[in-house]
Structure 1
Amino acid sequence: MLKIENISYAVAGRPLLEEASAVIPEGHKVGIVGRNGTGKTTLFRLIRGELALEGGQITLPSRARIGGVAQEVPGNEVSLIDTVLAADTERAALLAEAETASDPARIADVQTRLSDIDAWGAEARAATILRGLGFTPEEQLMPCSAFSGGWRMRVALAAVLFSAPDLLLLDEPTNYLDLEGALWLESYLAKYPHTVLVISHDRGLLNRAVGAILHLEDRKLTLYQGGYDRFAETRAARLAVAEAELRKQDARRAHLQSFVDRFRYKASKAKQAQSRLKMIEKMKVITTPQEAALRAFSFPEPEELSPPIINLESASVGYGEKPVLGQMTLRIDQDDRIALLGRNGEGKSTLSKLLAGKLDPMGGRVTRATKLRVGFFAQHQVEELHLDETPIDHVRRLRPTEPIAKLRARLGGFGIGAEQAETEVGRLSGGQKARLSLMLATIDAPHLLILDEPTNHLDIESREALVEALTAYSGAVILVSHDMHLLSLVADRLWLVKDGRVKPYEDDLETYRQMLVSPEKSSRPKSDKAKAAAKPKRPSRDALLALRAEVRKCESRVEKLQEMSEKLATKLADPALYDEDRVDEAAVWQRKYSEVCDGLERAEALWMRALEKLEAAEA
């Protein structure tokens, strides 16, 4: 059992924790949530004993092993599998002793203990963990130096999971994982045999891998049973009660104060006035937790282009002479919201670079709209920011003639305030750096926005703000993300990148998740009896809101295409267009009209499907 009793801690005079308490029973999995900067990582350091408490105490079972992910695995020549195996220090020490021990009794003890900890099956367990985190059997034999920092962080995560500490502390473990790795980690943590504390802003992980939420707010710790959705509902109810009580108290205080103000200086009422003043002083102050401001994103709106904005015909792409993806026949319209699915290494990044114009096709044909602008955000771009420069310096480099007020307004539209705008980037938080990179990627009002893991380092409130901004954005969006919540609310089309091909994925995200988590179950067809027994779940409030947003989005798309169709029909009705010297121009307009009609037919079908889903859910 982990007991946190009335602990207090401050940083530079700013209190992060004040008499905070919580009890975590042994074997429980707990998600830790709270706004960025409230002290979640500091709490981990206090539990590990790296920082000294200013008050209170933290107690753990005697001899309990605490484990957390190292900053990074060194880039040495040790193979990945050996690096992970070395994390179990007891096993390594026993194996070394077994080589040199001469006392028969000690040899027997060592062999017994090796058997107890399944030392001989350790390599298979380590390989399974590495495979789950995205490493092929061939890569597991390669040295750590062959991998980048992000990949070495995965090795560090594999090492701590393999060592199986009694108390596992994980701080944003999905930041360096793709969707497949994040889903594997969810499943692994749900079955982990010891206590887990995980700091995360990933709603999927917080709903499926933990059984309780520890909320750090207003310098206090509050433990809620259930996953994140249940926590959000319970907390919303508590906030509503607290706000109602606050309104009642304010009304009563105002009533008492009005009596005091009227009769304070009237001799016959002076005692009563004084009595009411004392009542006001004794009233216990009711406070409501400060809600995190929804730090919005403001994407600049691009002008409308005729569809499609990108068209691929039997296209292939790769590096050097080696194609990674081939036979791609795809189209992207300006109102598309597409999520790229597929395991790491299948080619999602390669496809993104092709669409962004960073890679040329090796074969086939890629047609782009003439005035197409593409915005590209990838996590590595955050790392490429100039740490010794301010956000203002970064924007000024792209807009040297704009006045300082306009530059500040651009940053403010992405939640970077006046103080952060003049702060060196190296001193900004990960979330602020991500916001700056997003602003730089969208400064030219792109018609197509390609986002590769945009939610890393963003807290839950910021992720919700990003969902709203992408829903309102009038350009096309290509998403690669491990955040299932983001994908489910933003994407209306799924493309699966697999075996060198890119194809539309006809099932939904939940089916894809089940396929990754339990491939043997998802590949087995359901019996008629099982189908009959399956009962539809009552949709959640979030699900209904998402369906209604989808209907509105589809309706808006149909209206735009109808308007475009009418304009083109008027253009084609002009007799002058068919003069002999304008035959080629007429053919171009007829082709555009045909493409818009095709798009309108698809949009109407999507609209009807969205309406049917909403009607079924509401029923």
Structure 2
Amino acid sequence: MLRIDGLTFRIAGRTILDGASATVPDGHRVGLIGHNGAGKSTLLRLILGQYHPDEGEIVIERRAKIGTVAQEAPGGDETPLDVVLAGDAERAELLKAAETEQDGHRLAEIHERLATIGAHAGPARAQRILAGLGFDEAAQGRPMRSFSGGWRMRVALAAVLFAEPDLLLLDEPTNYLDLEGTLWLEDFLARYPRTLIIVSHDRDLLNKAVGHILHLEQGKLTLYAGGFDRFVKTRAEKIANLEAQRQKQDAARKHLQSFVDRFRYKATKAKQAQARLKMIEKMEPLPELPGEQRIDFSFPCKDELAPPVVTLEGAAVGYEGRPPVLRNLNLRIDPDDRIALLGSNGNGKSTFAKLIAGRLAPAAGEVRRAPKLRPGFFAQHQQDEFHLDETPINHMAALLPKASPTEVRSRLGAFGFGATLAETPVGRLSGGEKARLLFALMAVDAPNMIILDEPTNHLDIQAREALVAAVNDYAGAVILISHDRHLIEACADRLWLVAGGTVKPFEGDMEDYRRQVLAGAFDEGPVKSAAAPSADRKDQRREAARQREALAPLVKRVKAIETQMEKLAKDLAKTEAALADPKNFADPARLADLGKQRADLLKAQEAAENDWLEAQEALEAAS
């Protein structure tokens, strides 16, 4: 599908790719990884033809359709469903041509191609993709102008997934998704039937959705089999073997050189010394050991508090002039709590975090905080408050007016800001560097509670691992909102579900939550907690039998509709075959009759698909 051969590319004199080569076979799902600034996005632009290499070439299978997420989604009166359906340009063009085409032979070809690409099932498929990315039925029919930029980017992602290109290129697609959307996308991409290259720093996505890792390091590309965890193990073994070879080669060189130094000027040994010199010269230098980019930082905590840190009794919270977003909050947070908030975007996770942080006052009920509580709050939108022409030193010095320049630099250095980076204008920092600057500024007051709202956006894998270590070493309470499942599983020991207008503990683990998200449980309100494992087996069997009996009518209805859909599909195929039969081209009346039959069958098929979707959703909800 894709061959990269000796690719070299430079930007402003800096070499990004240096003779890089790799081959991605047809049907492979590949995760493209590398530290921030390594050139991953640049490589995607080269594949798309937006950049042109200085040397080498990129060869893509002939006639392969390449797709990527559009930079912007429309913001007019079109609905998300309209935009997604238009994402498959071939389907849209064929449907438009079918409405105006007069030539019977050409019309038959059009209908044959539409049948081949499954065009008539398009609306149902588009609806499923949008639903997976968080758009309910009502949202799918709203005008695009009513959505924020993040939701429009979800529509752009849905459009390219619907188009199902032969080569799909995705660059950090989860940055605009919540955890629920990320879990759905992970499952969708794991079953993607064509070639996929995805840039991501999400470990779970790279373990579950791809079968190979393409590592970009020091301008070179290396393809590894397996997901991310296997890549880490294989690469560690490769580095260890390389180091062992280097030590062995150094020992051999030292031994040979010792002989040469002793005997090169002794007549009887001169030839042997020269032979050993040639052996040393012929030793091929081993490649340099790859340098690991390591980042370490920590969150200081002083004034540790006695429990409870925060208590909520009958509390409600919302925004002025609007009904409360969350009600009936009866919760308690202790100093050693590590709590992750689950729930779809829009359910109120950030609102709840602001209430805990004291940035929103309760609309009802009571919120009691420890007198010395000092929360630190991290939110991605705070990056918009940076002064882009000022440096990290300026921002840190503003918070520490009495600190010496050495102390200011030391504070920044603890979060990976060396001398050069600390003096770089914020406008020129990468997204990950801005996030680390936010961490550094948040840590200034040594808060005894930290609230992290999507902290991993733009962080590479090394920085994410540093964040995991920093959170686990932190002495205070932690409230975490993240679409990164690895971060939640590594750091949180309690899960709270924000859904149905309130916040309640979720008793299952992340795997329970994932299963229920993919089953559509969150579409019908709060996700249910995992069943208690201690139930008696006989009672469990009885309950299972009762559920099967209750579900039987729904199962029967789904199967009946599926049988109807199979019959309609066969009838439609026969009709389209007749339309494509040259024998019927000379009989206009026959063609007209067949055209009417086909139109009726398409309407019946669409109605059956809608009935099937409703029945399936009812069955899943009941299950």
TM (normalized to structure 2)?
A: 0.81
Deviates more, 1:297-306 or 1:271-280: 271-280
Per the alignment, residue 502 of structure 2 pairs with 501
Kindly indicate whether residue 414 of structure 2 is the aligned counterpart of residue 430 of structure 1: no
Matches within 5 A, 1:356-367: 356-367=357-368
Matches within 5 A, 1:245-324: 245-264=245-264, 269-319=269-319, 320-324=321-325
Deviates more, 1:340-349 or 1:393-402: 393-402
Per the alignment, residue 17 of structure 1 pairs with 17
State the alpha-carbon separation in 1 of the partners of residues 443 and 118 from structure 2: 53
State the alpha-carbon separation in 1 of the partners of residues 261 and 381 from structure 2: 63
Matches within 5 A, 1:95-110: 95-110=95-110
State the alpha-carbon separation in 2 of the partners of residues 152 and 263 from structure 1: 76
Matches within 5 A, 1:107-506: 107-264=107-264, 269-319=269-319, 320-506=321-507
Deviates more, 1:376-385 or 1:462-471: 376-385
Residue deviations 1:560-594, cap 9 Å, x none? xxxxxxxxxxxxxxxxxxxxxxxxxxxxxxxxxxx
Amino acid at match of 2:344: R
Amino acid at match of 1:290: P
Whether the 8 Å CA contact 2:5–2:56 is kept in 1: the answer is: yes
Deviates more, 1:462-471 or 1:124-133: 124-133
Residue deviations 1:518-552, cap 9 Å, x none? 458x99989979x99xxxxxxxxxxxxxxxxxxxx
**Distance change in 2, residues 1:141/1:388 (3 Å):** farther
Whether the 8 Å CA contact 1:218–1:289 is kept in 2: the answer is: no
Question: How far off its partner does 1:218 sit?
Answer: 2.7
Residue deviations 1:368-426, cap 9 Å, x none? 01111111111211233222221112112222232222111111111122111111111
Per the alignment, residue 69 of structure 2 pairs with 69
State the alpha-carbon separation in 2 of the partners of residues 20 and 204 from structure 1: 27
Per the alignment, residue 594 of structure 1 pairs with none
Question: How far off its partner does 1:281 sit?
Answer: 2.3
Question: How far off its partner does 1:267 sit?
Answer: 5.4
Per the alignment, residue 570 of structure 1 pairs with none
Per the alignment, residue 30 of structure 1 pairs with 30
State the alpha-carbon separation in 1 of the partners of residues 241 and 262 from structure 2: 32
Per the alignment, residue 613 of structure 2 pairs with none
Q: Structure 1: any 5+ residue segments left out of the alignment?
A: 533-619
C-alpha RMSD of the superposition: 2.4
Per the alignment, residue 586 of structure 1 pairs with none
Question: How far off its partner does 1:206 sit?
Answer: 0.6
Whether the 8 Å CA contact 1:239–1:288 is kept in 2: the answer is: no
State the alpha-carbon separation in 1 of the partners of residues 99 and 342 from structure 2: 48
Residue deviations 1:481-515, cap 9 Å, x none? 11111111111111111212211111111121122
Matches within 5 A, 1:33-52: 33-52=33-52
Whether the 8 Å CA contact 1:292–1:461 is kept in 2: the answer is: no
**Distance change in 2, residues 1:489/1:87 (3 Å):** same
Question: How far off its partner does 1:6 sit?
Answer: 2.5
Question: How far off its partner does 1:196 sit?
Answer: 0.5
Kindly indicate whether residue 511 of structure 2 is the aligned counterpart of residue 514 of structure 1: no
**Distance change in 2, residues 1:54/1:96 (3 Å):** same
Question: How far off its partner does 1:271 sit?
Answer: 4.3
**Distance change in 2, residues 1:146/1:289 (3 Å):** farther
Whether the 8 Å CA contact 1:334–1:475 is kept in 2: the answer is: yes
Deviates more, 1:376-385 or 1:283-292: 283-292
Equivalent position SS for 2:324: strand
State the alpha-carbon separation in 2 of the partners of residues 245 and 494 from structure 1: 48
Per the alignment, residue 618 of structure 2 pairs with none
**Distance change in 2, residues 1:301/1:277 (3 Å):** farther
Question: How far off its partner does 1:297 sit?
Answer: 1.6
Count of aligned positions: 531
Question: How far off its partner does 1:186 sit?
Answer: 0.7
TM (normalized to structure 1)?
A: 0.81
Whether the 8 Å CA contact 1:246–1:287 is kept in 2: the answer is: no
**Distance change in 2, residues 1:144/1:321 (3 Å):** closer
Equivalent position SS for 2:301: coil
Amino acid at match of 1:437: L
State the alpha-carbon separation in 2 of the partners of residues 289 and 479 from structure 1: 37
State the alpha-carbon separation in 1 of the partners of residues 267 and 337 from structure 2: 76
State the alpha-carbon separation in 1 of the partners of residues 519 and 284 from structure 2: 53
**Distance change in 2, residues 1:325/1:394 (3 Å):** same
State the alpha-carbon separation in 2 of the partners of residues 376 and 236 from structure 1: 36
Amino acid at match of 1:364: G
Q: Structure 2: any 5+ residue segments left out of the alignment?
A: 522-526, 542-623
Question: How far off its partner does 1:189 sit?
Answer: 0.7
Amino acid at match of 2:469: E
Equivalent position SS for 1:229: helix
Residue deviations 1:136-164, cap 9 Å, x none? 22222222222222222111111111111
Per the alignment, residue 576 of structure 1 pairs with none
Matches within 5 A, 1:504-583: 504-519=505-520
Question: How far off its partner does 1:269 sit?
Answer: 4.6
Whether the 8 Å CA contact 1:79–1:142 is kept in 2: the answer is: yes
**Distance change in 2, residues 1:75/1:390 (3 Å):** farther
Question: How far off its partner does 1:272 sit?
Answer: 4.0
State the alpha-carbon separation in 2 of the partners of residues 347 and 94 from structure 1: 43
Whether the 8 Å CA contact 2:46–2:53 is kept in 1: the answer is: yes
Amino acid at match of 2:234: T
Question: How far off its partner does 1:436 sit?
Answer: 0.8
Whether the 8 Å CA contact 2:187–2:209 is kept in 1: the answer is: yes
Question: How far off its partner does 1:268 sit?
Answer: 5.2
Question: How far off its partner does 1:454 sit?
Answer: 0.8
Residue deviations 1:241-276, cap 9 Å, x none? 111111112222233333444445555555444433
Whether the 8 Å CA contact 1:442–1:449 is kept in 2: the answer is: no
Amino acid at match of 2:371: T
Whether the 8 Å CA contact 1:30–1:198 is kept in 2: the answer is: yes
State the alpha-carbon separation in 1 of the partners of residues 323 and 141 from structure 2: 24
Question: How far off its partner does 1:177 sit?
Answer: 0.8
Amino acid at match of 1:98: A
Amino acid at match of 1:213: I
